[in-house]
Amino acid sequence: MRDQGVLNPNVIYRKTADGDNPVQLFVSPSQYIQGHGVIDRLGEYLSLCLSGCAGVLITPGRDAALAGIIDRSLKAGGLAVSKTVFRGESTLEEVHRVVTFFQGSEVQIRALIGIGGGKCLDTARMAASRLDVPAITVPTTASTDAPTAAHSVVYDRNGVFQNVEFSATNPLMVLVDLDIIAAAPPRYIVAGMGDAFSTFYEARCCMENPEARTARGARPTMAALAIARQCRDLLLEYGRAALDEVRSGRTGEALSRLVEANILLSGIGFESGGLAGAHGVAQGLTACSQLHRNCLHGELVAIGTMTQLIMETRMEEAREAARFFNGVGLPLNLARLGFDPLLRESELDDIVKHSLNVLFIRYEPFELTHALLKAGILEANDFGRAMERELS
């Protein structure tokens, strides 16, 4: 089993050959497959690069709905199957349980397939690293950009962000079935837009700050910035139409473009482009148990994006973001999430403290103090309320 404690790409990629100029790094999954009904061909696709036994980590709901399809598909591709059901939180304890389960399997697995939401996929990726097998991710919602990544978010048992853990490589395959994505509640598509919309603004922030680094310790590439910009542009062009398709039970071009933006473009854009204030604030918001329990990740990122743009005084972009968020149903202010920052000031202070402990929030183009970040969150909240009134 691989020793996960020593895997820190930052140590390697931060080194410079000439002692001065940092390296640039672009990472991505080996394959990204998106289409209607592709879950039926999962085994066939995997048979091109794998043989033997495939491990499966799947959420309870997806297991009830898809277990038969997945089992038939993998066996049709000549793969044996060993399966365990995800228990709800991407904690190190859950990772250990999954690793122990597959180590005790009668047949050694050759890959680990995660099927479900972002936390299930993160857990599968971390377990795959420890088992020294490739990870395959099959997202069942388009709510986050986690499926393509080579690193995973670790939470504690209460769901509070703890840290990020790295895998040596990105997933061997990401398989996105549009029919499965479309069948999920529309709220998940909307949350994915909130997560993806921040990608360009955070990548641009990192590109413009010569001290900023991606999560793997390198400088962002122009390719990643271009992908991040395309991600935002697709959201603005297709976001509302895609939501209309999902709500009406149709799956057309708008949904296809939107899903690619939410998962592939946002995933590559954030990992090779870098993160900054929006995700720093979003992770800080998980310090409030009510917000963590009741909100999806992308809904928190929407608040983070508004805060970042306000702190950077990019007011026209903040207005554009507010119009987009309002149009698709993302929150423009904390009140929409049931949190009044003025009445709950001590909790807001905890959120600010937690946000400042997130490394990538430091890549904003100014020194962030507790007072400055708190003021930024409050100003963004007031701005969001004003825009909400204006757009109603």
What is the rounded distance in angstroms from the CA atom of residue 227 to the CA atom of residue 261?
9
List, as one string, the DSSP characters of 188-248: HHHHHHHHHHHHHHHHHHHHH-TT---TTSSBPPHHHHHHHHHHHHHHHHHHHHHHHHHHH
Q: What is the predicted pLDDT for the residue at 110? A: 96
Write out the E strands in 104-168. Answer: 109-116, 135-139, 151-155, 161-166
What is the rounded distance in angstroms from the CA atom of residue 341 to the CA atom of residue 346?
9
What is the rounded distance in angstroms from the CA atom of residue 136 to the CA atom of residue 46?
9
The encoded tokens of residue 191 equal 């949350």
Provide the whole-model pTM. Answer: 0.93
Q: pLDDT tens digits, the chain, 392 residues: what are they? A: 555 555 788 888 887 766 678 899 999 999 999 999 999 999 999 999 999 999 999 999 999 999 999 999 999 999 999 999 999 889 999 999 999 999 998 889 999 999 999 899 999 999 999 999 999 999 999 998 989 999 898 988 887 778 889 999 999 999 999 999 999 999 999 999 999 999 999 999 999 999 999 989 999 999 999 999 999 999 999 999 999 999 998 889 999 999 999 999 999 999 999 999 999 999 999 999 899 889 999 999 999 999 999 999 999 999 999 999 999 999 999 999 999 999 999 999 999 999 999 999 999 999 999 999 999 999 999 999 999 999 98
